[in-house]
Amino acid sequence: MPAMRILPTDEATDLIGVVREVATKELAPRAAAAEAAGEFPRDAFTLLGKLGVLGLPYPEEYGGGGQPYEVYLQVLEEIASAWMTVGVGASVHILSCYPVATFGTEEQKLELLPELLKGDLLGAYCLSESQAGSDVTAMTTKARPDGDQYLLSGSKAWITHGGRADFYSVFARTSEHRSRGISTFVVRADLPGISYGAPERKMGLTGSPTTAVHFDEVPVPACRRVGEEGGGLGMALSALDSGRLGIAACATGLAQAALDVATQYARERRQFGKPIGEFQGLAFGLADLAAAVQSARATYLDAARRRDRGQPFSQQAAIAKLIATDTAMRVTTDAVQVLGGYGYTQDFPVERMMREAKVTQIFEGTNQIQRLVISRELLR
């Protein structure tokens, strides 16, 4: 059953309706086959771009949709509920636009954002390295000034859309200072010196390419540095607060989809002369899952509303990411159990959903890191 939403405007209600229809008719029917074949659905992002989804939370004057995060995240949930790879990919693209949209100069916004937000170009976010995941300040990728450009060298790991993106938001070291030595760059994929590792062989999200991205003296124009030299760490952490909300919304959508499959199965599957949903043990289990999904949705909406009002939301974003992704893992696992042997087969989508749920507890900061963020805020 689609989530019943309370939205701030009639425009937002109409938008959700359009996205839900597109997700149901255009995305969901393709998901299983594309994931089984490991096919990247680039055309799905072109479609979302035409709908305005890929620039939804950014200002209209730069080509965005001008929608609050409260609305954007619910749109993202609808997409992820239909096809998790596309929901996560949309979240990653919007995250990759964040540095320019939030910290760029007026000239950079006017020049870059209209092209980035309309969906013709697809973005990727290059922060993690093989030895610098949770510890961002351990990164070794460097950008060395060279006249009116920087020469970018190093490798980034676990990059969603690696090898398929048209541009990369890259964080690189411009000095040896641990926290104030990192800067941010927008790097076009067609620059010389960029190469890619083999796609990672993953448990889930197999339609979403994840690779290492290698930079070998890549000449990045100085005008593509976003913000001041050394200001990149704060930019990255700020972006992750918003990115975590994107993952929380996607995880909630995935959990909702699994709950819907399990509920429908419980209505139709008969044992001992009646639908299995009439057995109290199973019915109460479904009730617990429904409560967990609605709780996850409430946590990400609380954080989003604080963000929209300009209030601090880092702790709430971490809570939302923790709760929503743990919920996705629990609901998808229990949905497999509801379906019994069928749930363990590829004939039903819950086994794929269970595999997809696991990574939500890992990327955009592991859930152990979320607990660190939450506890630091509590004890400050």
* CATH no., domain 10-117: 1.10.540.10
* CATH 1.20.140.10 placement within the chain: 239-379
pLDDT digits (tens, 9 = 90+) for 349-366: 999 999 999 999 999 899
Q: How many angstroms from the chain centroid is the CA of residue 330? A: 19
Q: Name the pLDDT band for 2 (thresholds 50, 70, 90).
A: low
Q: What is the pLDDT of residue 178?
A: 86
Residue 135 has pLDDT above 90, yes or no: no
* CATH 1.10.540.10 placement within the chain: 10-117
pLDDT digits (tens, 9 = 90+) for 259-301: 999 999 999 988 999 998 989 999 999 999 999 999 999 999 9
For the question of residue 364 being annotated catalytic, the response is yes
Give the rounded percent of residues in the chain with a pLDDT score beyond 70: 99
Residue 133 has pLDDT above 80, yes or no: no
Q: Name the pLDDT band for 310 (thresholds 50, 70, 90).
A: very high
pLDDT digits (tens, 9 = 90+) for 168-182: 999 999 999 988 999
Q: Which of 111, 356, 364, 377 is catalytic?
A: 364
Q: How many angstroms from the chain centroid is the CA of residue 286? A: 27
342: amino acid identity, one letter = Y
Residue 293 has, within 13 A of its CA and on its CB side, a CA count of 26
Residue 123 has pLDDT above 80, yes or no: yes
Distance CA 212, CA 188 (A): 16
Residue 132 has pLDDT above 90, yes or no: no
* CATH no., domain 123-233: 2.40.110.10
Query: Does 1.20.140.10 match the CATH number of domain 239-379?
Result: yes
Q: Name the pLDDT band for 333 (thresholds 50, 70, 90).
A: very high
Could you tell me if 230 and 177 are in contact, meaning their C-beta atoms sit under 8 angstroms apart? yes
Vertex 327, ends 19 and 129: CA angle to 5°?
Answer: 85
Could you tell me if 59 and 102 are in contact, meaning their C-beta atoms sit under 8 angstroms apart? no
Matching residue, tokens 């952490």: 237
pTM for the predicted model, two decimal places: 0.96
Q: What is the pLDDT of residue 242?
A: 96
* CATH 2.40.110.10 placement within the chain: 123-233
